[in-house]
Structure 1
Amino acid sequence: MSTKIRLMRMGKIRTPFFRIVVTDSRKARNGLSIEEIGRYVPGQEPSIMEVNSERAQYWLGVGAQPTAAVEAIFKVTGDWQKFKGLPGTEGTLKFATPKPAKSIAYEAAVKQAMDEPKEGATTMKKKAQEKLAAKANPAPVSDVVVEEAPQADVISEETPVEAVVETAAVSEPTATDVVAEVPAEPVTSEEAAE
């Protein structure tokens, strides 16, 4: 039986990934395979190429023929050079830089947000700024008390409190005085009947 090492397409439309499989050469592209020996994801930068080197060497040794695409992948990973006995068995595979964990990035952002001043984060309207300024700089209470205390002493020294009360009582008219000034109108019997 003649075997081939080829790519089996998987994935959605416009986002393919491939399995590197060993299959009978007479089977369909995505038909039943004998063994899966790797995978290839071209949609990422750099492309992901994973090959089980031991199994690839076995199948190449027993006569499986790789397709052109799989041969190119084997050259990048170094498996083709190893099979042919050529120098450069380490391959030219590029590795993606590891991304920092999302939890570490989140914790750093929270820490940075906690360090920022809270007052400068948003702008306020003028009235709100004035209220905030008034709360921040209240009028000193001790100055107001000091000014009022000497004036109260001066008033008590000039006139006694009893004299002030007497003058106020004399100037106000009483209710009995008002009644005495206005004469009562006589009520006639005609007005009472109506």
Structure 2
Amino acid sequence: MAVKIRLKRMGKIRAPFYRVVVMDSRTKRDGRAIEEIGKYHPTREPSVIEIDSERAQYWLSVGAQPTDQVEKLLKLTGDWQKFKGEKDTESKVRTAEGVSEEETRAAIKAAEDEAEKRKAVASAKKAEAEKAESEESADSADSPESADSPESAESAE
């Protein structure tokens, strides 16, 4: 039986998350899995990657082939390097634990302030453009056609 380690899509339409699963290669993408070995949430910041390293090593050792996407995830967590026997097996996954709550609030506040500034600049530009347009239309309505134009000369005859 050909076994693959691949992603099983879960979640709502525009909010996907995935389970890293071991499946027979002939089953459907979201079909029944032999074993679930991890989770991947790409929409969170930073992305959440949780893989049971021991089980991933076991399935790789018995011949399970990871898909390209799963291979990239295994490289990020360091499991692929362990399997291949390379020295650099340190996980490159960023964690949100190192960021304090105060820093997060400050970053959110700064982003909100920046958005308010951009809104104010955009509304000022829009008001200025509307004012210029209204002045232009008022000027063209108030000014009579000059007598030197050929159209007014033809109508005079």
Per the alignment, residue 5 of structure 1 pairs with 5
Q: CA–CA distance in 2 between the matches of 1:99 and 1:3?
A: 42
Q: CA–CA distance in 2 between the matches of 1:67 and 1:99?
A: 35
Gaps spanning 5+ residues in structure 1: where?
A: 106-194
Per the alignment, residue 134 of structure 2 pairs with none
CA drift of 1:59 comes to 0.1
Gaps spanning 5+ residues in structure 2: where?
A: 106-157
Q: After the TM superposition, which residues 127-138 of structure 1 pair with which residues of structure 2 at under 5 Å, given as runs?
A: none
- The answer to whether the aligner puts 1:76 opposite 2:76 as a matched pair is yes
Q: After the TM superposition, which residues 1-194 of structure 1 pair with which residues of structure 2 at under 5 Å, given as runs?
A: 1-97=1-97, 100=101
CA drift of 1:45 comes to 1.1
The superposition leaves residues 86-140 of structure 1 with CA deviations (integer Å, 9 ceiling, x where unpaired) of 1211121111135649xxx9xxxxxxxxxxxxxxxxxxxxxxxxxxxxxxxxxxx
SS in 2 for 1:70: helix
Report sequence identity in percent.
60
AA partner of residue 38 (structure 1): G
| Higher-RCO chain (CA-CA 8 Å, sequence separation at least 6) | 2
Q: CA–CA distance in 2 between the matches of 1:57 and 1:43?
A: 26
Q: CA–CA distance in 2 between the matches of 1:54 and 1:46?
A: 24
Per the alignment, residue 173 of structure 1 pairs with none
Q: CA–CA distance in 1 between the matches of 2:80 and 2:96?
A: 22
SS in 2 for 1:37: strand
TM-score using structure 2 length: 0.62
AA partner of residue 85 (structure 2): G
CA drift of 1:20 comes to 0.1
Q: CA–CA distance in 2 between the matches of 1:94 and 1:87?
A: 20
Q: Which has the larger radius of gyration?
A: 1
SS in 2 for 1:46: coil
The superposition leaves residues 142-190 of structure 1 with CA deviations (integer Å, 9 ceiling, x where unpaired) of xxxxxxxxxxxxxxxxxxxxxxxxxxxxxxxxxxxxxxxxxxxxxxxxx
Q: How many residues align?
A: 102
Q: CA–CA distance in 2 between the matches of 1:32 and 1:51?
A: 19
CA drift of 1:14 comes to 0.8
TM-score using structure 1 length: 0.50
SS in 1 for 2:90: coil
CA drift of 1:31 comes to 0.4
Per the alignment, residue 156 of structure 1 pairs with none
AA partner of residue 16 (structure 2): P
